[in-house]
Structure 1
Amino acid sequence: MEIAVVDYKGGNVQSVLFALERLGARPTLTADPEVLRRADKVLFPGEGEAASAMQALREAGLDQVLPTLTQPFLGICLGMQLLGQHSDENDTPMLGLLPYQVRRFVPDADHKVPHMGWNNLQALRGPLFEGLTEADHVYFVHSYYAPVGDYTTAQSSHPAPFSAAVQHRNFHGVQFHTEKSGAVGTRILANFLAL
């Protein structure tokens, strides 16, 4: 199975590559459109800031390539957010694959920004969450979020509900870091590889 990991010079890529290798995959880190098109699965890890990430995608022509992919696709953290229409983070237009507008959390006395640490998943649906329950926890680090909508396949809250995972056609996204979420994250990656 050919697994392509999108290379847009973003952070946290090595952790995702190691997590895939522990599952027996041999991922290729690439910005080559042809490698991405022929891959059996594509992962889009994300760490950083929306405008810089979109600029890197545009410079590589990947803003035009990624929306045309038809194989199973998984965006992680910022990689999930970029599937939406627009981000409040530096007023950034994004890939436009899902209808959400990414918003910034508003801190209060009990909820700091960024939302960082372990939180549980709720309202699970879809193949990524096979074998998991609402008692399972995953690791989040983010200041921006996608609201809950028809596309939401898992929720969490900080304090209001937000999309912890989304899906549209072959495009899946998770707001949390699978590669930092222990056995639960490993199970989600394994479920993705089994799609």
Structure 2
Amino acid sequence: MGRRVTVLDYGSGNIRSAVRALEHVGAEVSLSHDSKEILEADGLVVPGVGAFATVMEGLKAVDAIRWIGRRIAGSRPVLGICVGLQVMFEEGVEHGVRTQGIGEWPGTVERLAAEVVPHMGWNTVRPPEGSELFSGIENERFYFVHSYGVQHWNFDVNVPEMTPPQVTWADHGGPFIAAVENGPLSATQFHPEKSGDAGAALLQNWLRTLG
């Protein structure tokens, strides 16, 4: 039996492609914002396209931030995609407006420091040694569509028994965070559901972490 995955339905666009991609790699997928389905699924996917502030408003409208936090606190896997990665950070700055994020990780989402924005198309990434998400696909290319990103990582871990997050980087006008793996919470700035065989392999790797 495949792993049960809920794709969070809060009004974000283009989530059907995420549902299809997960089904393609063997997951049993529901599209819902029902708290019971969110909490009981083996894995929760938080998609996101468009503006940081709009995504945060959508998440708040269905009380999703509470359920995302409850899953993470209970070590229940969550995968953010695109703006679904960005909102896991402390804040986003768009057109001079600061919007508070979920705050699972320190950092600010800002406009990419590149001559050509948005960053649209295929790009390589630099995963850390031991990455589970990128196991076997360390040298593959993934599909990005974004104008904003997190360009600095300031996670300071002073607790000896705490494993620091694994951060994957990519470059477009400078380095930016392409993915983070942090216990039950993982996220990618790129779209695995649009990344062909490499994206499918990454989703399979994530499904294997669901226990």
Question: TM tier, shorter chain?
Answer: over 0.9
1:179 equivalent in structure 2 = 193
Runs of 4+ in 1 over 4 A off after TM superposition: none
Q: Report the alpha carbon displacement of residue 78 of structure 1 after superposing the two structures with TM.
A: 0.6
TM superposition score normalised by structure 2: 0.86
Q: Secondary structure at the match of 2:181?
A: strand
Equivalent position of 1:21 in the other structure? 23
Instruction: Indicate the RMSD between aligned Cα atoms, in angstroms.
Output: 1.4
Q: Relative to 1, partners in 2 of residues 1:160 and 1:152: Cα closer, same or farther, differing over 3 Å?
A: farther
Structure 1 residue 50: deviation in Å? 1.2
Q: Is the 8 A contact 1:128 1:188 kept in 2?
A: yes
Compute the displacement of 1:148 (Å).
Answer: 4.2
| Aligned residue number for residue 98 of structure 1 | 105
Alpha-carbon distance between aligned partners in 2 of 1:118 and 1:2, rounded to the nearest angstrom: 29
Q: State the distance in 2 between where 1:171 and 1:83 align.
A: 9
Whole-Å separation in 2 of the counterparts to 1:113 and 1:152: 26
Deviates more, 1:153-162 or 1:136-145: 153-162
Structure 1 match to 2:183: 169
Question: Contact between 2:89 and 2:107, CA under 8 Å: does it hold in 1?
Answer: yes
Q: How many residues align?
A: 191
In 1, Cα distance between the equivalents of 2:186 and 2:98?
23
Give 1:162's aligned amino acid: F
Runs (5+) with no aligned partner, structure 2: 156-164
Matched with 2:88 is: 83
Tell me, in whole angstroms, the C-alpha distance in 1 between the residues paired with 2:152 and 2:113.
16
Give the letter for the 1:96 counterpart. G
Quote the Cα distance in structure 1 between the aligned partners of 2:142 and 2:184.
23
Q: Distance in 2 between matches of 1:170 and 1:147?
A: 23
Q: Which amino acid is 2:168 matched to?
A: A
Counterparts of 1:148-167 in structure 2, within 5 Å, are 148-149=152-153, 150=155, 151-167=165-181
Structure 1 residue runs of 5 or longer lacking an equivalent are none
What do the CA deviations read for 1:36-90 (whole angstroms, capped 9, x no partner)? Answer: 1111011111111111111111111112221121311110001000100000124
- For normalisation by structure 1, the TM-score amounts to 0.93
- Residue 13 of structure 2 corresponds to residue 8 of structure 1: no
